[in-house]
Amino acid sequence: MAELIRNMIELIKNPKEVAKGGEPEFEKYWTPMRIDLDVLYEAVDLNEELEKPIKSAKDEKGRIDKMLAFVADKVYGGQFTKEHLRKGLHSPTAIQTLQEQILFVARGMQSEATKKYLEKNR
């Protein structure tokens, strides 16, 4: 049987404490063992939409909301909510992290964090 590749995302478990200067604690989530091809089609459509020029802040926020919902609901199958994802990502790298998750579904590209974690734990 072919190897089923998975991807991982790390979310901050204690964002309120971190905002007050506390040490971040992370929780790892793994994609399901199998993701339907329908989700691939949605990832391709979403990726195409993300490549179009942004016209306004409202447009950009709408795109971010779509990425959050897609990653939480489709890529990770509801293991966490869109709100948990918003609070658990670090703002300077959030967009890149979300795009990497979408590319994993669209092209099978694992994130660098996942690759490093798997190499370390083999």
- Work out how many domains the chain is built from and give that number: 1
The pLDDT tens digits for 84-103 are: 999 999 999 999 999 999 99
Q: How many other C-beta atoms are found inside a 10 Å radius of the C-beta of residue 33?
A: 8
- Look up tokens 């918003």; give the residue: 86
Single-letter amino acid, residue 75: V
With CA atoms as reference, report the closest residue to 74 among 103, 108, 36. 36
Question: Does any domain span residue 1?
Answer: no
Does residue 72 lie in a domain region?
A: yes
What digits encode the pLDDT tens for the residues 31-41?
A: 999 999 999 99
Exposure letters 70-100 (e unless 16+ CB within 10 A, then b): bbbbbbbeebbeeebbbbbbeeeebeebbbb
Determine the structural domain holding residue 87 and report its residue range.
8-120
The reply to whether 60 falls in a domain is: yes
Tell me, yes or no, whether 2 lies in a domain: no
Give me 96's structure tokens: 């890149």
| Beta bridge partners of residue 8, listed in sequence order | 30
Q: Which residues pair with 11 in a beta bridge?
A: 27
| More reliable by pLDDT, 110 or 106 | 106
- The answer to whether 25 and 13 are in contact (CB under 8 A) is yes
Model confidence, pTM: 0.87
